[in-house]
Amino acid sequence: MSAHEQVLELKTLMSKDIIGQEAVVDRLLLALLANGNVLMEGLPGLAKTRAIKSMANNLESYFSRIQFTPDLLPADITGSEMYYEKAGQGTFKFQPGPIFGNLVLADEINRAPAKVQAALLQAMEEREVTVAGTTHKLPPLFLVMATQNPIEQEGTYPLPEAQMDRFLMKVLIEYPDTASEKKVIALVRGEEAAASENKEEHAKIAKETIFTARKEIDRIHSSDAIDDYIVALVEGTRYPERHSEELQRFIQVGASPRGSLALDRCSRAFAWLAGRDHVTPDDVRAIVPDCLRHRISLSYEAEAEGITPDHVLAELVKQVAVA
What pLDDT does residue 195 have?
A: 63
Q: Which residue, of 134, 157, 173, is where some domain finishes?
A: 173
11 and 159 fall within a common domain: yes
Regarding whether 244 and 129 lie in a shared domain, the answer is no
Q: CB-based contacts of 319: which residues, under 8 Å, 6+ apart?
A: 236, 243, 244, 247
In a domain, 91, yes or no: yes
Of 5, 290, 304, nearest to 171 by C-alpha is 290
Same domain, 121 and 242: no
| DSSP-derived pairing of the beta strands 79-86 and 89-96 | antiparallel
Instruction: Say yes or no to pLDDT of 323 above 80.
Output: no
Closest CA relative to residue 251, chosen from 289, 298, 291: 298
Could you tell me whether strands 251-253 and 169-172 are parallel, antiparallel, or unpaired per DSSP bridges? unpaired
Query: How many structural domains is the chain composed of?
Result: 2
What is the Cα Rg of the chain in Å?
Answer: 21
Do 110 and 247 fall within a single domain? no
Domain harbouring 241, CATH code: 1.10.8.80
What does the buried/exposed string (b/e) look like for 210-246 if buried means 16 or more CB atoms within 10 Å of the residue's CB? bebbbebbeebebeeebbebbbbbbbbbeebeebeee
Instruction: Compute the distance between CA of residue 216 and CA of residue 219 in angstroms, rounded to an integer.
Output: 5
User: Do 148 and 246 belong together in one domain?
Assistant: no
Which domain, by its residues, includes 305? 220-319
Domain membership of residue 192 (yes or no) is no
Torsion of CA 304, 308, 314, 315, to 10 degrees: 10
One domain for residues 72 and 14: yes
Angle at 287 between CA 49 and CA 172, to 5 degrees: 35
Do 48 and 148 lie in one domain? The reply is yes
Lowest mean pLDDT among 44-53, 158-167, 189-198, 283-292: 189-198
Which amino acid belongs to residue 298?
A: L
Q: What is the Cα–Cα distance from 302 to 316, expressed in whole angstroms?
A: 15
What gap in Å lies between CA 257 and CA 111, rounded to an integer?
28
Q: Are residues 279 and 169 in the same domain?
A: no
Count of residues making up the chain: 323
Strands (E) in 188-323, as ranges, are: 251-253, 297-298
pLDDT score for 260: 96
Instruction: Specify whether 9 is located in the same domain as 125.
Output: yes
pLDDT digits (tens, 9 = 90+) for 174-219: 888 888 888 888 888 877 666 656 555 678 999 999 999 999 999 9
- Residue 39 included in any domain: yes
pLDDT tens column, 304-316: 999 999 999 999 9
Q: Is residue 157 part of a domain?
A: yes
**Average of per-residue pLDDT across 83-99:** 85
Between CA 163 and CA 175 the distance in angstroms is 27
Domain CATH code at residue 166: 3.40.50.300
Domain assignment present for 196:
no
Q: Are residues 103 and 224 in the same domain?
A: no
Residues 203-214 have pLDDT tens digits of 899 999 999 999
Q: Is residue 180 part of a domain?
A: no
pTM attached to this predicted model: 0.90
Residues 168 and 19 in one domain: yes
Mean residue pLDDT across the chain: 90
Q: Are residues 155 and 240 in the same domain?
A: no
Percent of the chain scoring above 70 in pLDDT: 96
Q: Identify whether 277 is part of a domain.
A: yes
